[in-house]
Amino acid sequence: MNAFSDGIAGLDDFLTLNAVLILDDAWNASYQSRDAQALSDLIADDWSGFLPDGQVISKAVLQRAITTYPEDVLVFRRQVAQLYGDTAITRGELSANGVHAQSYLRVYARRAGQWQAVAVQVVP
């Protein structure tokens, strides 16, 4: 590789990670608005959520749950985002009404050129 191709590869990674971050921000916005349909468009049909108590939830369960969340003020803070080829992760924290509610690790995958969330691990 030369300096030019290294620069292009770096730009490609930057743009790809930016696409994932836009998706991650859309996930946060769907939570804040309690919009199950918007969330549905962002997560894969085979998505899995891993909760602190060991429970594993499906996309359908999350979609039902999001509409029943209390009207708390939700604030998301992203700590890190990393790209691994066709997989990316974001890690962050969620607070509700100014109180820490959870930390999470979200996993995104690019399938047939389309990025979607495929998993989340939630911890207290």
pLDDT in tens, 27-53: 999 999 999 999 999 999 999 999 999
Query: Has this prediction a pTM greater than 0.85?
Result: yes
Helix (H) / strand (E) element for 78: namely strand 74-84
- Please give the average per-residue pLDDT across 94-102, as a whole number: 95
**Who contacts 87 (Cβ-Cβ below 8 Å, separation ≥6)?**
107, 108, 109, 110
Name the H helices within the chain.
Answer: 3-33, 36-42, 59-66
Measured from the Cβ of residue 31, the count of other Cβ atoms closer than 10 Å reads: 16
For tokens 């191709």, the residue is: 5
